[in-house]
Each structure stands twice: as C-alpha cells, then as structure tokens.
Structure 1
Amino acid sequence: MAEKIDTRAVGLDVGLAFIRWLTGAENLHYGLWTGLKVTAGNLKTAQEAYTARLFGYLPPGRLRILDIGGGAGETARKLLDLGHEVEIVVPSAFLAARCRANAPGATVHECTFEAFSGQGLYDLCLFSESFQYIPMAESLPKCAALLAPGGQVVIADCFRTEAYKGRRAHGPQAGGGHGLAAFRKALEGSAFRVAAEEDITAEVAPSIDLEQQFFNVIGHGVTRLSDEIRTRKPAAHWSLTRFIGLFLSKKRRANLMRRLTGNERNAEGFQTFNRYLMLRLERKA
C-alpha cells in the first residue's frame, strides 16, 4: 500500500525555502512592523525586530532554556550565540531536522511537549508562537515541574478575543490560539503570575496583510493563466479543470481561489479577533 503524502511537510519545506530565499533565514514567526513600510523587502528587518523584542523578556545571566515548539531552529541558534544552553521540543520530523541543521549546538527532542519526558531543571521555558498548540491543562503545570527554583516562562503568541465566535460566524480569520479570557482564568489557578506583559497586536498585524499580498500575487498569476488558456485553448482548459477535480473537490477549489484572490484575512480582522501578547511569568510567592 502506498504511503500517504505528507502535505504538511511539503508545505513547510516549500514555505521555508521561500522565506530563506527572501530573508536569508528560516524564521516562521511574525514581524514587528513599527516604523517600517509593509513590503517583502522589509520582512527580514521586521522579524529581527520581533526577535529583539522577545529577547528583551529573557531573565539576565546564562540560562538553560527549553525552547518549546522551536520552529526551524532560528531562535535557538540566536540563543546559543548569546551563550545560553538550549534544548528544543518539536513534534515535526521535518522541523526537527531543520533545528539540527540550523542550531547544531542545541539538543533536539522530536516529540510533543505533552510527551516530553525531560527532567530539567530549566531556567526558562520559552513559547514563541507555540503556546496555542498545547492544551492549557498541560502547558503551565508541566512548566512548573520542569523549572528550577526562580525559573520563568516567556510566552509570545496570539490569543482569541471574546469578539471571535468561530469560523461559521466570521469565515476564515487570521490568528488563533486559546481564548484570552480562558488563559487568564487558567493563569489564576496556576503556579505563576504575570511579571511583565505587552500587547503588540497592532505592531505584528501588518504581517497578515503582507502574507495576503503574497497569495494575491499567486492568485493573479493563476487567474491570468487560466483566462488565457480558456480563451485560446478551451478544450485544454476543460481537460485541465477535470484533472484538477480528481484531486480537489469543487468546494476545496472555491476555498483555494478565495484564499488566493480574496482579502478576508487582513490586519484589521486580526486586531479585532486576536490579542498578540508577550508575557513573562514567574512563580507566585
């Protein structure tokens, strides 16, 4: 029996190759666009500004850091360059391989955070756009068990506002994550309190517009080519449409073209339905 194609790994591979070509790095996170024109040429600068802001939340001194959901290892590489000891937890085999390539000085654990069996003790648990993928019943309690005395948690991620009522109500909207109110409640019952917090929603939101502009460029090319084939080679267009239909249903094709040619995912909607927070948590007294 043929193995199922890993479309997620293929998508990550292509996406990382494009980001690497555009910026020279494999960063998977938002950019911080304060004072920058929202263009592809400024993406690298925006992402570097984001990392600098994130690192401002690190406690002083040389740290033993657990980078949870470490992406392609770019953040870990920068942390290693600063002299920290880094371990990465990442469930994707493809991303684990990129972490080993980009941050060879880090220890990579290829598993979910829920399945992670490391004993610690760590000075910092870092969630850079990964907190939303871990059940709150697992994340903070496990961090409490893994941290050394005085250890802290840094979270940089999206949280859904109460304005978000689901995909059926609003259609596809950028962002995501745990509900902000639910997170606040879980935090109250946890071992941690907020030591520092910053709302950077407006500063990262332009990343959504830039992403949509990229898809619109692809959509323009696809639409232009399709129109040309339909006009000049109608039989070939009919055959091509039938062939694509073998792999994508009519609904999926419509959703794809909506993504490529629409503008429903935008910075304004992102700011309505999300709060992007940077937080540093410390143990309660």
Structure 2
Amino acid sequence: MAKQKLDTQAIGLDAGLAFTKWLTGAENLHYGLWTGLEVTAGNLRAAQDAYTDKLFKLLPDTPVRILDIGGGAGETAKKLLALGHSVDIVVPSPFLAARCRENAPDATVYEHKFEDFQTDQRFDLCLFSESYQYIPLDQGLTKCLELLTPEGHIIISDCFRTQEYSVDKSQAKVGGGHREWRFREMLETAPVGVISEEDITEAVAPSVDLEQALFNVFGYALTRVDQELSAKRPKIRWMINRVIRLMINDRKRARLDQRLNQKTRTAENFIKYNRYVMMKLRPTSDADQS
C-alpha cells in the first residue's frame, strides 16, 4: 500500500483559520490595513476590517453579480451578500469550499481551480482578494474576460514581487505573487484598461511583523519543551527528533527553524520584496485602444 503524503497545507489552513477565528471572531487570513492602528494582536480584526472596507470602495454603487475567485473561507462573500450583491465563489480547496458554504450559505460555491472553471453564467465583477498570485499569469485576466458581462470589471488586490526579489531559496522571503514587471508587461498588451490603482504596501506590511511575533512565541514554547526533554527525558527527545527527521527533510526543517526562531520575515523586508496594490480594471474594445 502506497504511503500517503501528509497534506500540510490543509493542516496549516485549518489551524490558521481556527486560531484567527479564536482571536478575531472571523475566519480571515488576509492582510490588515494598519493605518492609524497600533500593531497588536488585539487590533488584528480592526485592521482586517479596514482592509475589507477599503477594498469595497472599489465596488459598484448598486448590487451586481460577483465572482469571488479564491474566496478563502467565505468571509468576504458573506459581507458582499449582506450588501445585496449576488456572489459565486470558485475555490480549489475542499476544506475552504466547506468553510465557504458554512460562512456564506447564500453564495454558490464551485470547487475548482479558476483556470479549470467552466460556466455559462456571466458576471459583473471578477474579484481577486489575495488570490491572483495563485493563478497562472497568462490565464487570470484572459479567463476573467471570458466570464465578464460587456460592462463588467475586474478587481485585483494582491502582492507582486519587486525587482529586488531574488531566487535565492536559502532565504524565506515574506510575501509572494507574480513578478511585478511581468504583470506590467502583460497589462500593456492585454485588452484591459486600468481605472484605478493604489499602492498599499506600507499600510499592510505591519501584518508581517505581527505574524512573525506570533511564530516566535510558538518557537519559544517549542524550544522550552526541547530543553526540558533534553535535561530530563533525553531518550524521549531522541525519539521525537528521529521521527521529525524522518518526516521533514533538512531544507524544510531549516525553513521551519527560520520561521519559528528567527526574525528575517519583517515588514521592512516585505516592503523591499513586494508591491501590494489594489487595482480596478475594465475590458477595452479595439476602439478604446486606438
């Protein structure tokens, strides 16, 4: 019988959502907008709500049909529904799809990768809230244009890698996303026009310091347990470390140590390696481009 691979991503999502809900009362994993707020765990919900409020300012004034692409656990969809919008969610994770159905029961949830999503329906708005980076760059906008009504719009709120980003895998650089310059090159030739764009990198960056502080707390706790086992239960410690080495390779252990016990993931590094933008686009015709 083949050995099944541990789904560490699902485990991480489950644990992350559970912790965030315990801390804030909502299952949001997106960045917060920290303008005017002290960077503390107690303000995380307010920062995440401020982010959502800013994102929603890009929405039409009247109710529309929205495709929430990569809709997380359905918290954004729940708020969109409360505003009177009609919402469909497409999300590839079975776990997140289940959370969407629980949190936004009036939304229609499709359990697919966006690039594989097929429907005869058309939408007034395609929304990417920290999900655009997971769609192949040559497919995201193209797919949206197939799904939009003639007067539809696209909103992208996400990270992009700056020119400072390096492919050096020895450093776990915080953030993510497509290379910004490649995205910009694609926009120049794509049949879309930019209605608005705002760089909010510095406003969301403190989320990274808060996250790193939390991981350092976990790291400290694990270090103390290891110290106690080393002093009082060395055989048990040896067995635990043996199991960890069998389950996790050297590279992943090094990255885990960096995440739990170091402070390389900082707001300063996030700003250096990432550009976080909120952008609203619209399809353009040949006449618009001429």
**TM-score category (smaller protein):** over 0.9
Q: Is residue 167–residue 173 contact of structure 1 (8 Å, CA) maintained in 2? A: no
Q: Give unpaired runs (5+ residues) of structure 1.
A: none
Q: Is residue 17–residue 27 contact of structure 2 (8 Å, CA) maintained in 1? A: yes
Cα separation, 2, equivalents of 1:3 and 1:235: 28
Mark the CA change 1:255 to 1:3 in structure 2 (over 3 Å): closer, same or farther: closer
Deviation, 1:3, is 4.2
Cα separation, 2, equivalents of 1:164 and 1:249: 25
Cα separation, 1, equivalents of 2:196 and 2:174: 26
Cα separation, 1, equivalents of 2:203 and 2:34: 5
Deviation, 1:163, is 1.0
After the TM superposition, which residues 41-80 of structure 1 pair with which residues of structure 2 at under 5 Å, given as runs?
A: 41-80=42-81
Q: Which residue of 1 aligns with 2:89?
A: 88
Q: Which residue of 2 aligns with 1:107?
A: 108
Q: Is residue 120–residue 148 contact of structure 1 (8 Å, CA) maintained in 2? A: no
Identity over aligned pairs, percent? 56
Q: Is residue 207–residue 267 contact of structure 2 (8 Å, CA) maintained in 1? A: yes
Q: Is residue 159–residue 274 contact of structure 2 (8 Å, CA) maintained in 1? A: yes
Deviation, 1:248, is 2.4
Mark the CA change 1:5 to 1:245 in structure 2 (over 3 Å): closer, same or farther: closer
Q: Which residue of 1 aligns with 2:220?
A: 220
Cα separation, 2, equivalents of 1:28 and 1:126: 16
Q: Which residue of 2 aligns with 1:253?
A: 253
Q: Which residue of 2 aligns with 1:149?
A: 150
Cα separation, 1, equivalents of 2:180 and 2:252: 31
What per-residue deviation string (whole Å, max 9, x for no partner) do you get for residues 150-190 of structure 1?
A: 1000000000111112234x711011111111111111111
Cα separation, 2, equivalents of 1:240 and 1:151: 55
Q: Which residue of 2 aligns with 1:193?
A: 193
Please tell me whether residue 177 in structure 1 is matched to residue 177 in structure 2: yes
Q: Which residue of 2 aligns with 1:243?
A: 243
Q: Is residue 172–residue 255 contact of structure 2 (8 Å, CA) maintained in 1? A: no
Instruction: Please give the root-mean-square deviation of Cα atoms over the aligned residues, in Å.
Output: 1.4
Cα separation, 2, equivalents of 1:16 and 1:154: 24
Q: Which residue of 1 aligns with 2:231?
A: 231
Cα separation, 2, equivalents of 1:88 and 1:82: 16
Deviation, 1:129, is 0.4
Deviation, 1:4, is 3.7
What per-residue deviation string (whole Å, max 9, x for no partner) do you get for residues 232-254 of structure 1?
A: 33333333322332322344333
Scaled by the length of structure 2, the TM-score of the pair is 0.94
